[in-house]
């Protein structure tokens, strides 16, 4: 350790001690806490300025050759996909969202598949309820009942 670095460390320690003493003398324990907070912030700023950080990693610029990720379902194959996923996610938030979005969507989907209404048979779903949304196990049970016997 160089003499200059040692002298800078001693000067910093004396400065922090003087700031803490002045804070305590000015306002008691609250002043000590305030002075300690300012001193800690000052130490962090000085430490960040003195010690350089690591070199940032370079950003990878090479492209993968001919690797285009295709979506699992395209809008052309299943145009109602976005609507159904949005209704399912909104059903977790509140009761009126179940009534307006999810119930209508799942009833139409069940009718298209020739199955009974999946929400009517579930005791956890009360018609017209404006309470909390459906929980994930209930939603999973409803969708599984709809997918049964594919």
Write the pLDDT tens digit of every residue in 82-107: 777 777 777 777 767 666 777 787 78
pLDDT value at residue 44: 86
Q: What's the mean pLDDT in 4-25? A: 88
32 pLDDT band, cuts 50/70/90, is very high
CA within 13 Å, CB half, 112: 8
Would you state the structure tokens that stand for residue 112, as one six-digit string? 């298209």
8 pLDDT band, cuts 50/70/90, is confident
């Amino acid at each position: 350790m160089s003499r200059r670095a040692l002298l800078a460390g001693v000067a910093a320690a004396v400065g922090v001690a003087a700031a803490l003493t002045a804070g305590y003398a000015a306002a008691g324990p609250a002043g000590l806490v305030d002075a300690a907070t300012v001193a800690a912030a000052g130490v962090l700023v000085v430490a960040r300025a003195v010690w350089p950080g690591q070199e940032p990693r370079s950003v990878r610029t090479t492209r993968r050759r001919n690797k285009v990720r295709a979506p699992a379902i395209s809008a052309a194959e299943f145009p109602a996909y976005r609507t159904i996923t949005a209704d399912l996610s909104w059903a977790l938030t509140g009761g009126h969202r179940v009534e307006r979005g999810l119930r209508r969507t799942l009833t139409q989907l069940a009718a298209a598949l020739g199955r009974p209404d999946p929400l009517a048979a579930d005791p956890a779903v009360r018609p017209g309820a404006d309470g909390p949304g459906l929980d994930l196990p209930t939603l999973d049970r409803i969708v599984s009942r709809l997918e049964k016997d594919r």
